[in-house]
Structure 1
Amino acid sequence: METNIGKIKKILASNNYPHHLVQSLIVQKVTEINKDQNKMPTTKTTDGTKRYHSVTYIPKFHQQLDHEITTNNRNIKLAYRTNSTLSSIFTPIKLHQQNNEVYEIPCIGKENEDCNKVYIGTTKRALGVRLSEHEADIKEKKNSTALAQHVLTSGHTADLANVRILDKEKRERVRYPIESLRILQKREKTINQKEDTEDIAAAYIYLFI
């Protein structure tokens, strides 16, 4: 466990995650694992004791996570959970009023030049507020995000009107890794500058080993 925690700290630190967030993520996850080990029943097999862990379901990425878990530790089984609730299903909220999400902004290029790339970000505040900040950064020529840098250096246009929410997650310690996993999932299309996203996926897996 200690070896894996060291790996997690190194991976997240190299990707510029705040120290307090890294510590919070590790402490919380270790606490959850200890509780799960005390509460969850185990099943004896010829390969040893199986352990079950509950993780947030991320569309399309769960197959890759299942494969990695199976390859690295056959005694671990994942139980996926959704963030959807009855209130979110029957009480629709306007897109720009929603918060705690991972979102995607497409780039539409410029005249006679298509781009087809996307920017992936995350925010705990209302999405409309974050989009206003992106718009202001571009107008004021601030290179504060990869999106602004891309638009200012290429002359392309960020299609803020067609932003899309990819995931909803209230817990910051979970939402940041989901953002990185989404960047990893679409690494051929993203304009994000976050490096070594493959290691973020590895860190997500190390939490269960």
Structure 2
Amino acid sequence: MAKHPQRRRPPKDKLSLVRSQSGNAWIFSHPAEVRECAEDLEEVREIIEAGETDVAVDELRWLLGMCSEMLAAHFLLGKLAVEVNNDVDLGRGHFGAGYQLGLQAWRRSGKPTPVAALHPANRIFYDCGRGLAWCLHNLQKTPLAVEVVQHMLEMDPSDPLSIRPWIDEMSTEGVDIVDISTLFP
């Protein structure tokens, strides 16, 4: 891992949305600090693959100290919290931070659509949103989880990640859909 320079000043530019070159969709434009740390983020992924999750968590926190709008760092911290430490509350916090950053950028931009879920610059936002929805549902906060999924569907109505069925699955989990005794007199 690269030597840790002193903490930088807050980013001058924020996460925002710009029209794609084709003009058919909107994509997230990540702050320069995020783009500058791409190699560091790849090194963190290698650290995770090597099973050094404690080191990876420290490095991801350091990266967020440099740029708090690094959605990929929030996503990886959320994923590690849930998968390695079984800490759904912490996972919710990290996934939620990444999701909120994207949602705020979308709102600041006037809620343009579609924000293409499969575009590489956008996918990490949707991954944060899916992680957040999963955590909220597992924390018995299903109405909030459904709201997260609905926002993502509003942003990309074509639903290429097939999250629309999550709404029914989460809303009906453990609930009798049909009372069999009412079907036969």
| Structure of greater relative contact order (alpha carbons < 8 Å, 6+ residues apart) | 1
**Same fold by TM-score, threshold 0.5 exceeded?**
no
